[in-house]
């Protein structure tokens, strides 16, 4: 018989299922470059978890296991409707994030408007040099100046210790080392990472959804412990997980426990969209091989899971996450959704088998169109995690996407008038 345990320690919340055995959190040892807790060294392979299903003695250094040393290739030359504008991150980026923020390689790059003239970008597993060694962070964030001319690329101001408007949160001891947003336990088969999936600003407060990774299981596959929302009231300088927003990745319901409800497993990855009176949150289970679902909530209630409604089809909504029905069939990967004025429709970007795909819809619920290919593997391989830039709404659709071999983020423009 399973005993479900919710372990909460300050801003760290880990949901675990155990068979009568309590699991202790791994100790957080701060490094010289990371006062928040554990970072990885220049270690290469992390070995295996052995015969135990817990593996408490085995640290895990993220989804990218080449210790940040793969060379970044030149920006790809795309053809057709899409054009690569710049590398946003890495040594080949005009931003030189490797030197200015100790971001040599990273991915995801979730962008959102902070409501005061900047675009914030949250990244996943991040490698960079600090104190003479290559170190790994579970995640990090940069602040863009939010300039309107995206054809000239995205830029980040220099980082200034203590400044919540500068390019990144840094310390006086290491003013070019962008700090992580928050750390995971960093222990194999317990919690190996926390990856941002979507961000939104409401009345000057920043909200960031993320997933807690239990383990990586193969290409395009992973298992999560839970998803949650972290909050920042200082423009992303510091973050606190709101434990009431945890959606445990268990397909059961515990009466009276809002974090453990059947259907929460369908919202392990999320994408925020503000439209009309609601904030819509699109969701998928862990990995890139499942269907997409939809929930909505009033902005004032974004941290209250009891106020969310779940789309059950046919224009109907339900307060029960288990009633959520697919709005798009599998397979669906990381996604972003925004309204586009040129098309007069909502646009959704996802990735499938290396293709960057676009769907459109007259409403947040759908019906969603068939996929249209924006970038195919014939142009460049290994693209994933396409996120629409929040200042993109016209004929030219601007979005960021990651490329696996370089393990960095690029900015792309697609001419929607040429998409067929």
Measured CA to CA, the distance from residue 303 to residue 231 in angstroms comes to 9
267 lies in some domain: yes
pLDDT at residue 33 in the model:
78
- What CATH code is carried by the domain that includes residue 153? 2.115.10.20
pLDDT of residue 202: 98
Contacts 24+ apart (CB under 8 A), 317-323: 320/261, 320/263, 321/247, 321/261, 321/262, 321/263, 321/264, 321/266, 321/267, 321/295, 322/253, 322/261, 322/262, 322/263, 323/263
373 in a structural domain: yes
pLDDT of residue 333: 93
What is the SS3 assignment for 349? strand
- Predicted confidence at residue 115, as pLDDT, reads 97
Who's near 276: CB < 8 A, 6+ residues apart?
none
Q: Structural domain tally of the chain?
A: 1
Alpha carbon 393 to chain centroid distance?
21
Distances in Å between the Cα of 328 and the Cα atoms of 51, 262, 271, 399 are: 39, 20, 14, 21
Q: What is the full per-residue pLDDT of the chain (420 aa) written as tens digits?
A: 333 444 433 333 444 433 232 333 333 445 667 766 655 443 332 322 222 333 333 455 566 654 555 689 999 999 999 999 999 999 999 999 999 999 999 999 999 999 999 999 999 999 999 988 888 899 999 999 988 899 999 999 999 999 999 999 999 999 999 999 999 988 888 999 999 999 999 999 999 999 999 998 888 889 999 999 999 999 999 999 999 999 999 989 999 899 999 999 999 998 999 999 999 999 999 999 899 999 999 999 999 999 999 999 999 999 999 999 999 999 999 999 999 999 999 999 999 999 999 999 999 999 999 999 999 999 999 999 999 999 999 999 999 999 999 999 999 999 999 998
**Residues 323/312, Cβ–Cβ less than 8 Å:** yes
- Express each pLDDT in 157-170 by its tens digit: 999 999 999 999 99
Rounded distance between C-alpha atoms, residue 87 and residue 89, angstroms? 6
36 assigned to some structural domain: no
Query: Is 342 a member of any domain?
Result: yes
* pLDDT tens-place string over residues 200-231: 999 999 999 999 999 988 888 899 999 999 99
Domain that holds residue 348: 3-26+75-418
pLDDT at site 146 = 83
């Amino acid at each position: 018989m399973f005993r479900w345990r919710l372990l909460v320690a300050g801003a760290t919340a880990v949901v675990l299922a155990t068979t009568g055995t309590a699991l202790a959190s791994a100790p957080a040892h701060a490094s010289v470059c990371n006062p928040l807790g554990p970072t990885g060294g220049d270690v290469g392979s992390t070995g295996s978890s052995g015969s135990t299903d817990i593996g408490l003695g085995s640290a895990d250094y993220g989804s990218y296991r080449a210790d940040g040393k793969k060379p970044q290739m030149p920006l790809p030359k795309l053809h057709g409707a899409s054009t690569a504008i710049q590398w946003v991150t890495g040594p080949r980026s005009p931003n030189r994030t490797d030197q200015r923020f100790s971001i040599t390689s990273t991915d995801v790059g979730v962008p959102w408007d902070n409501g005061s003239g900047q675009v914030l970008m949250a990244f996943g597993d991040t490698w960079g040099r600090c104190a003479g060694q290559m170190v790994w962070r579970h995640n990090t964030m940069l602040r863009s100046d939010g300039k309107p001319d995206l054809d000239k690329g995205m830029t980040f101001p220099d980082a200034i210790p203590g400044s919540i408007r500068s390019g990144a949160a840094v310390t006086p001891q290491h003013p070019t080392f962008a700090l992580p947003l928050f750390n995971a336990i960093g222990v194999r088969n317990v919690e190996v990472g926390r990856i941002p999936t979507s961000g939104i600003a409401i009345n000057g407060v920043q909200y960031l959804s993320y997933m807690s990774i239990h383990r990586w299981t193969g290409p395009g596959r992973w298992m999560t412990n839970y998803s949650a929302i972290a909050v920042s009231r200082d423009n992303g300088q510091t973050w606190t997980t709101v434990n009431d927003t945890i959606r445990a990745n268990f397909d059961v319901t515990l009466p009276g426990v809002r974090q453990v409800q059947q259907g929460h497993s369908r919202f392990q990855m999320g994408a925020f969209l503000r439209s009309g009176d609601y904030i819509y949150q699109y969701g998928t289970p862990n990995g890139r091989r499942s269907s997409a679902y939809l929930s909505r909530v009033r902005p004032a209630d974004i941290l209250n899971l009891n106020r969310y409604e779940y789309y059950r089809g046919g224009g109907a909504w339900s307060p029960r996450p288990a009633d959520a029905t697919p709005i798009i069939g599998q397979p669906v990967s990381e996604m972003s959704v925004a309204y586009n004025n040129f098309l007069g429709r909502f646009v959704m970007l996802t990735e499938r088998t290396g293709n960057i795909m676009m769907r459109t819809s007259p409403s947040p619920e759908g019906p969603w169109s068939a996929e249209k290919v924006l970038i195919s593997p014939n142009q460049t391989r290994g693209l994933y995690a396409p996120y629409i830039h929040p200042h993109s709404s016209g004929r030219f659709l601007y979005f960021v996407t990651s490329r696996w071999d370089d393990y960095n983020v690029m900015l792309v423009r697609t001419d929607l008038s040429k998409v067929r």
